[in-house]
Structure 1
């Protein structure tokens, strides 16, 4: 099967974008002493509020053992604490420290700044066309079983990077 040149060019641009965004994210997280998996846990906690490790494991689709390692690392670096659950003596809640809350608030601000860098000044019709095109690409990937969940499941769930 021959690939039309415009398909190869479009894929090349998508891959370039993925690399640029991934490298920037990795650099930013590394400067804060975070891995992708730890940042993902912080982001979930930011949106959910204090949560049990079981809830976080389910949200990140990782094993309880994996979550324990992630939370241990975040406790050791001052991002979160474990607090007694108010109604369940057997459970603990993972809760932000001031440092963790400030970090995720900064992450959210940085995300908004990055969105503005990417899209400010882009005409509405062009942004809408971009969104429609991305929706089409994502739908095609999903139709072929390539989803965020499938790619996460393909990584080793026994490691911290297995998110």
Structure 2
């Protein structure tokens, strides 16, 4: 049996800092739509997975129901989502994106893609090649974050 992999704390810290910096830049696209990053993320989940129950959104997003309620209220007031009756539970509602909400999500995604494309275009070719080669590992890392969030 092989020994478990150990990670240099400085390398882990560098990776964490890079992820935080990337998130900050990408979150600016949400803020350009007058949404917080959390609001944009919840809107994207509802748009992609909806109609969806609030409990599922909170679990997927890793936030408490009170925080989600505030976000949903703001998105609803902005006309980006709507609450619809649950088909089998009269006490519950489902959340779904409106046309305006879907359009907002598309604009945010396009702005984020344009930002990444512009930054990649400025990088040396060997760096972009290495970065693209690392995509499977980065996707596995993101999947690990999702699994950790679901386990909470």
Q: Do both share a fold (TM > 0.5)? A: yes
Structure 1's 14 and 55: CA in aligned 2 closer, same or farther, altered over 3 A?
Answer: closer
Structure 1's 44 and 99: CA in aligned 2 closer, same or farther, altered over 3 A?
Answer: same
* Corresponding residue pairs, total: 136
> How far is 1:108 from its partner?
2.2
Stretch of structure 1 that moved more, 24-33 or 97-106: 24-33
SS of the residue corresponding to residue 111 of structure 1 reads helix
Partner of 2:44: 43
Partner of 2:103: 102
Unmatched segments (≥5 aa) in structure 2 = 1-7
Q: Hey, what's the Cα distance between the residues in 1 that align with 2:87 and 2:96?
A: 13
Partner of 2:54: 53
Unmatched segments (≥5 aa) in structure 1 = 153-163
Q: Is the 8 A contact 2:54 2:95 kept in 1?
A: yes
RMSD: 3.6
> How far is 1:74 from its partner?
1.0
The normalised TM-score by structure 1 is 0.62
Q: Hey, what's the Cα distance between the residues in 2 that align with 1:73 and 1:17?
A: 28
> How far is 1:66 from its partner?
2.1
Partner of 2:76: 75
Structure 1's 112 and 25: CA in aligned 2 closer, same or farther, altered over 3 A?
Answer: closer
For residues 70-110 of structure 1, the C-alpha deviation after alignment (integer angstroms, 9 at most, x for no partner) is: 11111122211111122332221111122211101112222
Partner of 2:91: 90
Partner of 1:63: 64
